[in-house]
Amino acid sequence: MGRKGAFSRILGGRLGILHTYVPAPGRILLPGMVDFEEMTGRYRADRIDERTSVFGLVDPASTYIPPNSGNAEEIPQDLRPEPLAPGAAASVLVPFVLDSPEECRALRDFFRVEGFFRAPPPTADESEGSFDPGPGK
């Protein structure tokens, strides 16, 4: 699945998928795997449902950047407010690797992504296996 497929692990609950494989904390085996702490903490994947607002963070490895994408500095600090209802995440910022306008449209429409932000390029000391979504970590 790789980095390109990480979003599908995070947003699986929105499609009715009840389980996904996650490695133990600190034991990322392959790029694109999201560990348990990130799934339940950063992404709150266990609370994503139809009411959750989804925003995309476009990975620097993408060959396509959607027009009107905001910069990472523009990500609102309140993008991840407290849940609106018990058990539901109000909003989530999910990483995407995009390769074409068609792919972007399909993912945006299927997962009802409300907007995209460009992730900053990785620094020399950051791991190649993942990228940090910035604010709200």
Model pLDDT for residues 44-77, shown as the tens digit of each residue: 888 888 888 899 999 988 999 998 888 877 777 6
Please give the average per-residue pLDDT across 25-54, as a whole number.
Answer: 83
Dihedral sign for Cα 57, 109, 76, 88, please.
negative
Please give the average per-residue pLDDT across 94-122, as a whole number.
Answer: 92
What is the pLDDT, as a whole number, of residue 84?
A: 53
SS (H, E, C) the chain: CCHHHHHHHHCHHHHCCCCCCCCCCCCCCCCCCCCHHHHHHHCCHHHCCCCCEEEEEECCCCCCCCCCCEEHHHCCCCCCCCCCCCCCCCEEEEEECCCCHHHHHHHHHHHCEEEEEECCCCCCCCCCCCCCCCCCC
Please give the average per-residue pLDDT across 67-89, as a whole number.
Answer: 69
